[in-house]
Structure 1
Amino acid sequence: MDALSANEAKTQFGDLLLRAQRAPVQINKNGKPVSVVISMEEYDNIEALKLQLLQSRTSQCMADIQESNTSDGESFFNELEQVNLD
Structure 2
Amino acid sequence: MDNLSANEAKTHFGSMLMRAQKAPVQINKNGKPVAVVMSAEDYQSIESMKLELLKIRSDRARLDVAAARLIDGEAFFDELDAGDHD
Superposition TM-score, scaled by structure 2 size:
0.89
**CA RMSD after TM alignment:** 1.6
Quote the offset at 1:82 in angstroms.
5.3
Distance in 1 (CA, whole Å) between partners of 2:67 and 2:34 is 45
Local SS of the residue matching 2:21: helix
Query: Which 10-residue stretch deviates more, 29-38 or 42-51?
Result: 29-38
The structure whose Rg is larger is 1
Q: Deviations over 1:29-55 (max 9, x none)?
A: 111111110000000000000000000
| Residue ranges of structure 1 left out of the alignment (5+ in a row) | none
Partner of 2:44: 44
Superposition TM-score, scaled by structure 1 size:
0.89
Task: Say how many residue pairs are matched.
Answer: 84
Q: Deviations over 1:24-83 (max 9, x none)?
A: 001011111111100000000000000000000000000000100011212223444555
Which protein is richer in helix relative to its size? Answer: 1
